[in-house]
Amino acid sequence: MPEGDTVWNTARVLHRALAGARLTGSDFRVPQLATTDLTGWTVRESASRGKHLLLRLAALDGTHWTLHSHLRMEGAWRAYAPGERWTARPAHLIRVVLRSPGAVAVGYHLHELALAPTAEEESLVGQLGPDLLGADWDPAEAVRRLAAHPDATIGEALLDQRNLAGIGNLYKCEVLFLRGISPWTPVRAVPDLAGTVTLAQRLLAANRGRWTQSTTGSLHRGQTSYVYGRRAQPCRRCGTAIRKEELGDRVTYWCPVCQPERTPRGDGG
Ligand SMILES: [Zn+2]
């Protein structure tokens, strides 16, 4: 599941494969970039911002450009050795191929693929809240943005990338379980927003550098989460069956005993 840590890992893979390299060819398979040719361009660096990937390039004339992509649910980038078979995903999902002397980067099922001047990068990602895995991570600003919408449910507020960037459904469910907070709790009724934000950051940071996402400390299959993906299975703490229900436009998992509702649902106040 591409959450902030997965995108951070992907950015690192692309950086190691391409940074400093001069591209020997490019092949865009999306209409908006079909005529774009990056041959001769140099890859400066690869970075992530929340769940957005930013591949920073220098054009032949020395101007700086950013190739933006978003993985959403199913997108992925892979780096292959020259001549290696591209086996990660079916070929029809390929959206872009970037070739360099040492590596070939293939982007599958990418969303929001766009090329913009690096100076205008903020127009692509400027609406994002503080990046949990960014060098400029600002927990106080994240709390301030969350608190600005006191009546939103905490379950939806944590997923809103304008509040803080990088949390997806897995970390949302897990952090709320670990804090004993029902996903339906209004933001104003969450007892310690700063503690919740800090824990979310720690969970994402702990999964940097590996592809298996775990919030329990275990990397064994079936033991990597407390509630996420565990509908009807016993809570690891109290044994109650984990529940799954829609919240906003996503599903949420929670333990009704460990995460009691402080404010009745739908009471409006
Ligand atoms: Zn429980």
Q: What is the pLDDT of residue 268?
A: 44
- In three-state secondary structure terms, 202 is helix
> pLDDT, tens digit, for every residue of 212-249?
899 999 999 999 999 999 999 999 999 999 999 999 98
Task: Choose, from 188, 250, 256, 261, the residue flagged as catalytic.
Answer: 250
Catalytic site residue 250?
Answer: yes
**β-sheet bridge partners, residue 26:** 98
pLDDT-based confidence at 11, cuts 50/70/90? very high
Q: How far apart are CA 182 and CA 257, in angstroms?
A: 9
CA 212 to ligand 1 centroid distance, Å: 24
pTM score: 0.87
- For residues 104 and 87, the answer to whether their CB atoms sit within 8 Å is no
How many residues are present in the chain?
A: 269
CA 221 to ligand 1 centroid distance, Å: 20
pLDDT-based confidence at 87, cuts 50/70/90? very high
Read off the DSSP letter of residue 13.
H
- State the average pLDDT for the chain: 94
Burial call 137-153: b when 16+ CB within 10 Å, e when fewer: bebeebbebbeebeebb
> pLDDT, tens digit, for every residue of 47-66?
999 889 999 999 999 999 99
CA 182 to ligand 1 centroid distance, Å: 11
> Residue 192 above 50 pLDDT?
yes
Catalytic site residue 45?
Answer: no
Summarize the confidence of residues 259-264 as an average pLDDT: 76
